[in-house]
Structure 1
């Protein structure tokens, strides 16, 4: 993954998708109905005011803060389930270097806010994943549910200035169907590149039910019986309630949960 330039202070905007529409043409897709490249995803992040990617890929060990005290693997296993590889990583989720692609709307919980939930249209569907190191990342494989059609149309128009033949299907093909492995992406501290087949802990969806944001355990990659076995109900309750509490604390919004995949 190419190193991103450091973002200028004046570009640090609140997370609001497609804010810098006049620069959206930079997020060029590869020709044809192929997934969005990592560089393009990073550009889309910058349009949204999300600085996390730029920081992660531009800072090597010398540019990182002193490491913080983290929970042990055993503690993380108890709180959020064991870290397991995905049941599979689909071909379109892997780039030409063999690394997992970054979800176009990838954002760490520390960069997420209640405004992101409040501004999500009806029918919006986020996905979340607890990563191997115990952090929570969010993204979506249904980008169209989060970005209004008018903004997608403006994005397409801007991108056509560089790729005149780009179709709406091309754009959709590069934004959609990027599943949980692209959300649980792990960054190499030296190269800044994403690694292949990142491990994930409890993962699932986050969406509104009766006006209340609710998360579940529906992830065919990290929650499949093939890789995780059959979790006990008490374990799922602990994992999901813990994630709901952390997202609720960060966003200051009520977050509920329900067991679905392993109900």
Structure 2
């Protein structure tokens, strides 16, 4: 049986984990693929070159519903479906798990939470300056806060762990955005991930197949939020000019997004064909290291 490789982020500290490959038809959320390489996200690596975890890294199964439905209007979350280990009757099986985080964390935090976080960062900087008077004092600004916690993309959400606990880049299945509108009791998910859903990493993808993956992940969110309307909007995996038309619709008549959000989401339902999948939300056995 062939193996597929998931490797660490740092070339000098690569760690490799071999996982058995499965036939594509066994992937109702799409086959796992490595993220598209990019040079414009240096913030995704720490000072030692290892992958950073998204500050909101958590599995959907552990998400308190109030964090979504009592949060800010138009908050923008992101998700990736990954393979995780799950014990069934003493046997370890690989199952899909929805991992959550956000590239736009400031759309989720309230102004009070942002100000409190910034004040804490500034106080910590002042204390460091007092202990090290010979070093120049650098007091963080609001821009430093934004640069420090925003733009941590899907690889920081799909992240895995090596046997010794170090973070590593992991392959992912369908990935995208999650827009939350508590006042409308509405969650909209889509397939907008340049890292895991682009033509470069999924060449020749049939849009109808991607629509099935989207419907399946919509069902997982709906299972977790049984009292909430959950819709899937296919955008990234549509071929031109279809994706341009959807983008235009998405701009024209949307619920308002929170300040700082990249935009709203369409009100329309997505027409997608479902395929069989498990009915209970998957869980992850890993605990995030901050």
Distance of aligned partners of 1:135 and 1:153 in 2 relative to their CA distance in 1, 3 Å threshold: same
Match of 1:257 in 2: 232
Residue 78 in 1 paired to residue 40 in 2?
A: no
Distance of aligned partners of 1:176 and 1:205 in 2 relative to their CA distance in 1, 3 Å threshold: same
The more displaced of 232-241 and 170-179 is 232-241
Question: Residues 203 and 218 of structure 1 are in contact (CA less than 8 Å); yes or no, is this contact kept in structure 2?
Answer: yes
Name the structure where strand makes up a greater proportion of residues. Answer: 2
The alignment covers a number of residue pairs equal to: 191
Q: Runs (4+) of structure 1 moved beyond 6 Å? A: none
Name the structure where helix makes up a greater proportion of residues. Answer: 1
Match of 2:221 in 1: 247
Q: Which entry has the higher C-alpha Rg, 1 or 2?
A: 2
Q: Report the Cα offset of residue 208 of structure 1.
A: 4.0
Separation of aligned partners in 2, 1:166 and 1:85: 35
Match of 1:99 among 45, 50, 53: 50
Match of 2:204 in 1: 230
Question: Residues 113 and 251 of structure 1 are in contact (CA less than 8 Å); yes or no, is this contact kept in structure 2?
Answer: no
Please list, as runs of the form range in 1=range in 2, the aligned pairs for 1:1-263 lying within 5 A after superposition.
Answer: 73-74=22-23, 78-89=27-38, 90-133=41-84, 134-164=96-126, 165-188=139-162, 190-195=163-168, 197-208=169-180, 211=184, 212-252=186-226, 253-263=228-238
Match of 1:40 in 2: none
CA offset digits 1:152-204 (Å, max 9, x no partner): 1011112222113121111111100001011101112x221111x32111000
CA offset digits 1:43-95 (Å, max 9, x no partner): xxxxxxxxxxxxxxxxxxxxxxxxxxxx9733675311111111125221012
TM-score scaled to structure 2, two decimals?
0.61
Question: Residues 113 and 250 of structure 1 are in contact (CA less than 8 Å); yes or no, is this contact kept in structure 2?
Answer: no
